[in-house]
Chain A
Amino acid sequence: MSVRFGDVTAAARCNDPEFKTHAHGERERERERLAHVTRGHRGQDNRSRAGTTARGSFYAGAGKAWHESDARAREQTPRTGQRAREMAEHHAASDGKHKASAGAGGSVHGSSRPGAAVGGGGGGGTGKGGLSGGLTQPAGWQSLLSFSILFLACLAGFSSRLFAVIRFESIIHEFDPWFNYRSTHHLTTNGFYEFLNWFDERAWYPLGRIVGGTVYPGLMVTAGLIHYVLNLLHITVHIRDVCVFLAPVFSGLTAISTFLLTRELWNQGAGLLAACFIAIVPGYISRSVAGSFDNEGIAIFALQFTYYLWVKSVKTGSVFWAIGCCLSYFYMVSAWGGYVFIINLIPLHVFALLLMQRYSRRVYIAYSTFYIVGLVLSMQIPFVGFQPIRTSEHMAAAGVFALLQAYALLQYLKDRLTRQEFQTLFFLGVSLAAGVVFLTVIYLTYTGVYVPLARAHYAKIHIPIIASVSEHQPTTWVSFFFDLHILVCTFPAGLWFCIKNINDERVFVALYAISAVYFAGVMVRLMLTLTPVVCMLSAVAFSSVFEHYMGDDTKREKPPAEDSSDEDDKRNSGNLYDKVKSIVTMLMLMLLMMFAVHCTWVTSNAYSSPSVVLASYNHDGTRNILDDFREAYYWLRQNTDEHVRVMSWWDYGYQIAGMANRTTLVDNNTWNNSHIALVSRSNVDYVLIIFGGVIGYSGDDINKFLWMVRIAEGEHPKDIRESDYFTPQGEFRVDKAGSPTLLNCLMYKMSYYRFGEMQLDFRTPPGFDRTRNAEIGNKDIKFKHLEEAFTSEHWLVRIYKVKNLDNREPLDHKLRSVVPRQKYTSKKVTAVGPFVSIAFPKTPRGCFVLSTRSVYCHRGAKKPENIHM
């Protein structure tokens, strides 16, 4: 930024040669824009001076413009328009006559007025002239065009997310959305206050869960509100459909807010491009297809809208926009843990502005309002509570707030103190502020919280459960390209454009881009925060390129072929220029087309599977639906006692609660590591496992088994060793060569119970596991305490009932060696070991807050001590 300075008055004002007032920046910007505008003309002048375009063509351009203005005049002033039209008609008629008598008139006349030929070309030309004539002004045409493009972008975004609904049905997808759906259902049936106070005894048996205080309620409240309003209007839509279609609708809103933000950053054209990009980009679609009823679906809208309002408030310095920004931030806080991204990025922006000497009263007003009101609002969310003033990840915002106040104070005092006094005070203040910032940063780094990389590494090394989730893996280049396609290549160009023509809001987008790229590199799921900024910056890049190579065409039509013959060479070079123009344009359009094709393909193939329902395709293209999950869940729902407890791997906790409506031990809210590790040692009635050996489904429990062992090992390293489950060669095998510990553990037995008798086809021996391509090693499986209660049609889900024994064996208090094996020896909870309540709210940046919390010990929830008996 130190490239351009030298405004002496500004420099003098603040003892800093690099200081540049904002007013100066404004002027600079204005000048630049003018330069940009005139540059085009200058280029043209050059061209005509070089003789690239024949003078006839130049005149033609003028004539064209004349015709455009003719049409324009017709629109605007009817009275004069009438006359102009008469003139135009007259002109065309005379021209026709002229052509008829071309021989008499000679070539002079013919070449002297090629513009007339254009005019005589027909009404179509005039109509088009009217359109492009409208486009050169900020008038009706432009807004109509923008509106329709935006509308189409929203529509495209909405409809491209409907693959799953069309292929399957209107159903909630995956795991987490089932919990959200269940709580939304609770909200709509019991009302808002009941929802806030809801103690869900179906989760985390025997602890239970206070749902109202442990979720971000924004999603549920949004869906509930929409449902309520629709029902108020007697539009009887089921809450499920509201939930299913919420994410696509919000993606439309995201497109609009991205348009607004990009328009503030660059211009309207870039905004429209950005809206189109964000509507179909796979990185965002992956979290917002119809049925994926998750926080991210609405949070990205809230994120973009908050940023838009922030940029707006920084630009205007008005409290109105700042308050709007706070409200939007409040909505974001209520919707997603990713709000931490905002509350760190905005202070970072302000801090960067201060460093760049871009402080202004507008920034002061915007940030002060935002911080205070946003803080108070964010604390209204029960789940967030006092975190904004306690945890270190919010401290950056507070620090910047203090810094800003100090800076503003200095600015204020500057006018009132003598130079000498001020200098002393300034040094004092600066050193104090620097100290505060330094200490804050040190503190944040020291606690290992603010630096997400450290956190992510910590999580990966120390907490197997976090590492066990595939979306917490670092992002590969392939997935960057898969999710963003061409945008990942073009967005650095956009970033460069922004940095080249820097101003207050472009500082913001640059910081946004850089931080988002960093986070996305750390964790796959954080691709989501990167996607919007990539779309915006790519739109900036594309828009600039198009402006450069297509912009002239709207003003000046290509020269007609009536050039005089003696300027052949010049025409050739003109054609070359045109060729380059059209080649670049075509290339860009090709890229965009390929991008659209890629997006559709990815959406259709990768992101549109409900994962609750599986589909397989036969050789002739017909489809088989494997509905085993719902079969088993529904069996649980209908044919087990209402209060039974079902044990399963934590992935399926939400689905069991949502679809089977039964109590689970653990679910996807991974707040309690030790509880998951102790899945086996509780008093349960049913055990549910996923087994893919019959149909070759690879995400089954045997394949996840190692994670279970690792988690258990993490909690109870003395009792469980991962190495027991490997062969001496270090392989994980299920066949005869497998480790005997594995072959006799309960998970293995439950998966393969009676599978050894089953011959799937004639080429393979009985008991051939299709997922692992091996004949199982232990075919003679007998249970003492379990019995098979239900197995779904394709054996995907197997449910075992724990027998009620009249005389229980004496409890063995020694922790046994294999976690799952404990299932059938302990009927009641035995020693659970140290209860370490570690909360892992899923924040988007992979920031896992390590703090001992007592949220679950409020009210009705049993205290941790009590549950260990």
Chain B
Amino acid sequence: MAPKATILAACLLLVAALGSGVSGDGLVNEDVKRTVDLSSHLAKTTAEIVLSNQGNSGVQSFVLAVEADLAPHLAYIGATVKGNEEEDGTLALTSIQQTSIQGQSGEFYKVQLPSSLAAGAQLKVKVEMMFSHVLKPFPTHITQAERQLVVFQGNHYLFSPYPTRSQTTRVRLASKTAESYTKLGNPAKSDEVLEYGPFRDVAPFSEDTMKIHYENNSPFLTISSITRIIEVSHWGNIAVEETIDLRHTGANLKGPFSRYDYQRQSDSGISSVKSFKTILPASAQDVYYRDEIGNISTSHLQVLDDSVEVEVRPRFPLFGGWKTHYIIGYNLPSYEYLYTLGDQYALKMRLVDHVYDDQVIDSMTVKIILPEGARNIHVDTPYKIDRMPNQLHYTYLDTFGRPVLVATKNNLVEQHIQDVVVHYNFNKILMLQEPLLVVGAFYILFFTVIIYVRLDFAITKDPAAEVRMKVASITEQVLTLVNKRLGLYRHMDEVVNRYKQSRDTGALNSGRKTLEADHRALTNEISSLQARLKAEGSDLADKVGEVQKLDGQLKELVCRSSQEAERLVAGKVKKEAYIESEKTLISRRQELVGRIDSLLDAL
């Protein structure tokens, strides 16, 4: 304590010396109500300060101070002005800037007031600070059956560059059990609350160590690193993926882990983390929760009205010192987050989202992947983050890469769940690029196939195959012609039938004539084809010749049947006789047709 006291003295001296510098503003903390909330693994301090200007002139800003011991752990600092009754709600202070005051250790933040505080006037300010990793487990190693005890070291007083007239400090613990606590001013302890003070007329920069050793079994989960990737697609989807490294930063587990005890005794491993809830946006779809070795099957998803709740249960319960790693991802419809005006787009998304209540993130990397061709990118962040150089990302159907905004920040808490706005320009024509690429690829594919099939790439000719193909094509023609010729006979039958009804000899003769003509033409054609077949050396020519022969007989039959019909019409034959002869003719015809058919099949 001795060195600390000397520092304190030195500080006081310095303050006195610099009196004109800092407290020259004439600001005084009239009344301070401090609350230190230690019920979780974070230390949240809230101070309601009545600030009065006892100087001569109006003041535009005031300074908030953080103790040197706690400053590295400070995750969040915020101040709000409590308005008067007629004004509604609170006013967020415009800006908080880090400043330094010479000769003082610790960090200082200058708060700009919305309007100047006139001399003699008073202002109610609420200052909120969050500290991470300030609750140290003690003992540092516990067994599965033991409870977790932690130590908090803080300040009994409000650390402020201004003198304080009166203040109280209320400490909220996680449980009733407190091993020890500093007894400055005889604090009153009821259940989980410790009340210090009131302390009167405290000098600026006064520090007095407050040390509390108490039981805290709340989950000491820390996200040691998180990578959040937001991928925007103009086709209506925003994909979010978070890769999370989680660690239990409470007292380490000592000795064995007994599953039996863990399952059978309710207070076994009380400080361990079995599961926690992650709240995703209400429109989140296709949620996945996995790690390097696959899906983590122990999770549950609950869709609520205003959110989607994932019960994230790591593969194994997390004891002190144990860690795990997982990936959670989901899709969002872009219309809720992407705003557009002509070619201008604005993406408004949370920079960091909820992982679990009272979350602590040691290090965060955010990557926002914009569509290919996004230009004039401009980012509005709610708080200061470190931008890294932009990267390029290639995924499906990309040609020149999507721009990726990368930013990192350390030590984040729940209060950092705020929206970031990314403005960019995007030419809508570029939307066509991807479908055109697909179309082009298929076009090339089909075109290549067409080219390959149509053209002959053989470097040697195969005469046998060529002959075979030639013969096949000739045979094909022969088949067509023969079939057509058979059709002619059928047509002739029609003519004969019609003639039998109409008794129009002229029609019959003309039909016969056309038959003769067509038949001759076809027969000639077939004979020429037969000659060509012969020339190719195919033995099929003989078969064609046979077909020709049979066809001649067939044609004769057809002619005879038409003659018979003529004779019937002329009354030269009896109907019965005609039917008889017609029957024999038809049967012979059928036989011939059958033979031709079988020959054709053999071709």
A residues contacting B by CB (< 8 A) are: 37-38, 41, 44-45, 48, 55, 58-59, 61-62, 65-66, 69-70, 72-73, 76-77, 80, 84, 87, 90-91, 94, 98, 105, 108-109, 112-113, 137, 168-171, 234-236, 555, 612-613, 625, 627, 630-635, 637-639, 658-659, 754-755, 757-758, 787-793, 795, 801
Segment of B18-26, B376-384, B486-494 engaged in the interface with chain A? B486-494
B297 contacts which chain A residues (CB < 8 A)? 613, 625, 627
Q: Between A and B, how many residue pairs show CB distances below 8 Å?
A: 138
Task: State how many angstroms separate the Cβ of B248 from the closest Cβ of chain A.
Answer: 10
Within the assembled complex, what's the spacing in Å between the Cα atoms of A787 and B254?
A: 11
A627 to B298, Cβ gap below 8 A? yes
Interface 1/0 per residue, B49-65 and A, CB below 8 Å: 00000000000000000
Within the assembled complex, what's the spacing in Å between the Cα atoms of A59 and B491?
A: 16
Task: State how many angstroms separate the Cβ of A242 from the closest Cβ of chain B.
Answer: 15
A55 to B479, Cβ gap below 8 A? no
Which of B324, B480, B493, B587 is packed against the most chain A CB atoms within 10 Å? B480
Q: Report if B316 contacts A (CB, 8 A).
A: yes
The residue on A at minimum CB distance from B261 is A754
The residue on A at minimum CB distance from B486 is A66
B264 contacts which chain A residues (CB < 8 A)? 758
Within the assembled complex, what's the spacing in Å between the Cα atoms of A411 and B164?
A: 118
B324 contacts which chain A residues (CB < 8 A)? 634, 638
Interface residue from A58, A627, A795 paired with B594 (Cβ < 8 Å): A58
Task: State how many angstroms separate the Cβ of B587 from the closest Cβ of chain A.
Answer: 6
With contacts A59-B590, A236-B394, A627-B315 taken as known, whether A638 is within 8 angstroms of B491 at the C-beta atoms is no
Which of A77, A612, A790 is packed against the most chain B CB atoms within 10 Å? A790
Q: Report if B582 contacts A (CB, 8 A).
A: yes
Task: State how many angstroms separate the Cβ of B325 from the closest Cβ of chain A.
Answer: 6
B456 contacts which chain A residues (CB < 8 A)? none
The residue on A at minimum CB distance from B248 is A639
Within the assembled complex, what's the spacing in Å between the Cα atoms of A632 and B255?
A: 18
Interface 1/0 per residue, B424-468 and A, CB below 8 Å: 000000000000000000000000000000000000000000000
B598 to A45, Cβ gap below 8 A? yes
Query: What are 28 residue pairs bridging A and B, where the CB atoms are less than 8 Å apart in the complex?
Result: A37-B602, A41-B601, A44-B598, A55-B587, A62-B590, A65-B600, A69-B483, A70-B487, A73-B484, A94-B497, A105-B497, A108-B582, A109-B497, A113-B493, A170-B294, A613-B297, A625-B297, A631-B315, A632-B316, A634-B291, A637-B292, A638-B322, A787-B256, A788-B256, A789-B257, A790-B316, A791-B258, A792-B316
Q: Report if B476 contacts A (CB, 8 A).
A: yes
B487 to A66, Cβ gap below 8 A? yes
Which of B259, B291, B397, B598 is packed against the most chain A CB atoms within 10 Å? B259
Within the assembled complex, what's the spacing in Å between the Cα atoms of A77 and B476?
A: 11
Within the assembled complex, what's the spacing in Å between the Cα atoms of A801 and B597?
A: 87
B491 to A87, Cβ gap below 8 A? yes
B490 contacts which chain A residues (CB < 8 A)? 66, 91
Within the assembled complex, what's the spacing in Å between the Cα atoms of A632 and B487?
A: 81
B256 to A634, Cβ gap below 8 A? no
Task: State how many angstroms separate the Cβ of A227 from the closest Cβ of chain B.
Answer: 14
Which of A58, A72, A234, A754 is packed against the most chain B CB atoms within 10 Å? A234
Within the assembled complex, what's the spacing in Å between the Cα atoms of A59 and B489?
A: 14
Query: Given A80-B484, A631-B316, A791-B258, 16 more contacts at CB 8 Å?
Result: A44-B598, A69-B480, A70-B487, A72-B480, A84-B484, A98-B497, A112-B586, A113-B493, A171-B293, A627-B297, A634-B293, A635-B316, A788-B257, A788-B258, A790-B259, A791-B260
The residue on A at minimum CB distance from B589 is A59
User: Which residues from 269 to 323 on chain B have a C-beta closer than 8 Å to any C-beta of chain A?
Assistant: 291-298, 315-316, 321-323
A77 to B480, Cβ gap below 8 A? yes
A48 to B594, Cβ gap below 8 A? yes
Within the assembled complex, what's the spacing in Å between the Cα atoms of A635 and B323?
A: 9
Q: Report if B398 contacts A (CB, 8 A).
A: yes
- Nearest first, the 4 closest Cβ-Cβ pairs linking A and B are A791-B259, A69-B483, A788-B256, A625-B297
Q: Report if B395 contacts A (CB, 8 A).
A: yes
Interface residue from A80, A91, A630, A758 paired with B294 (Cβ < 8 Å): A630
With contacts A638-B322, A638-B323 taken as known, whether A790 is within 8 angstroms of B257 at the C-beta atoms is yes
With contacts A76-B476, A633-B293 taken as known, whether A234 is within 8 angstroms of B398 at the C-beta atoms is yes
With contacts A58-B594, A94-B494, A108-B579 taken as known, whether A639 is within 8 angstroms of B323 at the C-beta atoms is yes
Within the assembled complex, what's the spacing in Å between the Cα atoms of A801 and B493?
A: 101
Within the assembled complex, what's the spacing in Å between the Cα atoms of A755 and B398?
A: 57
B235 contacts which chain A residues (CB < 8 A)? none
Interface residue from A84, A137, A170, A790 paired with B487 (Cβ < 8 Å): A84
Interface 1/0 per residue, B113-140 and A, CB below 8 Å: 0000000000000000000000000000
Q: Report if B178 contacts A (CB, 8 A).
A: no
Q: Report if B593 contacts A (CB, 8 A).
A: yes
A69 to B479, Cβ gap below 8 A? yes
B497 contacts which chain A residues (CB < 8 A)? 94, 98, 105, 109
B476 contacts which chain A residues (CB < 8 A)? 76, 137
A791 to B598, Cβ gap below 8 A? no
A76 contacts which chain B residues (CB < 8 A)? 476, 480
Task: State how many angstroms separate the Cβ of A56 from the closest Cβ of chain B.
Answer: 9
B260 to A789, Cβ gap below 8 A? no
User: Which residues from 190 to 236 on chain B have a C-beta closer than 8 Å to any C-beta of chain A?
Assistant: none
A793 to B394, Cβ gap below 8 A? no
Interface residue from A41, A70, A98 paired with B598 (Cβ < 8 Å): A41
Interface 1/0 per residue, B487-522 and A, CB below 8 Å: 100110110010000000000000000000000000
B597 contacts which chain A residues (CB < 8 A)? 61-62, 65
Within the assembled complex, what's the spacing in Å between the Cα atoms of A66 and B490?
A: 10
A755 contacts which chain B residues (CB < 8 A)? 260
The residue on A at minimum CB distance from B323 is A638
B256 to A630, Cβ gap below 8 A? no
A234 to B293, Cβ gap below 8 A? no
Task: State how many angstroms separate the Cβ of A804 from the closest Cβ of chain B.
Answer: 13
A171 to B294, Cβ gap below 8 A? yes
Within the assembled complex, what's the spacing in Å between the Cα atoms of A818 and B403?
A: 64
Task: State how many angstroms separate the Cβ of A729 from the closest Cβ of chain B.
Answer: 32
User: Which residues from 322 to 360 on chain B have a C-beta closer than 8 Å to any C-beta of chain A?
Assistant: 322-325
B480 contacts which chain A residues (CB < 8 A)? 69, 72-73, 76-77, 80
Interface residue from A70, A234, A795 paired with B259 (Cβ < 8 Å): A795
The residue on B at minimum CB distance from A635 is B316
A137 contacts which chain B residues (CB < 8 A)? 476
With contacts A627-B298, A639-B322, A791-B259 taken as known, whether A634 is within 8 angstroms of B315 at the C-beta atoms is yes
B593 contacts which chain A residues (CB < 8 A)? 59, 62
A793 to B259, Cβ gap below 8 A? yes
A55 to B590, Cβ gap below 8 A? yes
A630 to B394, Cβ gap below 8 A? no
B590 to A58, Cβ gap below 8 A? yes
Interface residue from B259, B325, B594 paired with A62 (Cβ < 8 Å): B594
The residue on A at minimum CB distance from B255 is A787
B294 to A169, Cβ gap below 8 A? yes
B255 contacts which chain A residues (CB < 8 A)? 787
Task: State how many angstroms separate the Cβ of A690 from the closest Cβ of chain B.
Answer: 14
Task: State how many angstroms separate the Cβ of B512 from the closest Cβ of chain A.
Answer: 17
The residue on B at minimum CB distance from A632 is B316
Within the assembled complex, what's the spacing in Å between the Cα atoms of A44 and B598?
A: 10
Task: State how many angstroms separate the Cβ of B353 from the closest Cβ of chain A.
Answer: 23
Task: State how many angstroms separate the Cβ of A79 from the closest Cβ of chain B.
Answer: 11
The residue on A at minimum CB distance from B293 is A659
Which of A37, A659, A793 is packed against the most chain B CB atoms within 10 Å? A793
A236 contacts which chain B residues (CB < 8 A)? 394-396
Which of A635, A638, A789 is packed against the most chain B CB atoms within 10 Å? A638
The residue on A at minimum CB distance from B490 is A91
B295 to A87, Cβ gap below 8 A? no
With contacts A80-B484, A659-B293, A790-B316 taken as known, whether A555 is within 8 angstroms of B601 at the C-beta atoms is yes
Task: State how many angstroms separate the Cβ of A796 from the closest Cβ of chain B.
Answer: 11
A48 contacts which chain B residues (CB < 8 A)? 594
B493 contacts which chain A residues (CB < 8 A)? 113
B586 to A630, Cβ gap below 8 A? no
Within the assembled complex, what's the spacing in Å between the Cα atoms of A113 and B298?
A: 76
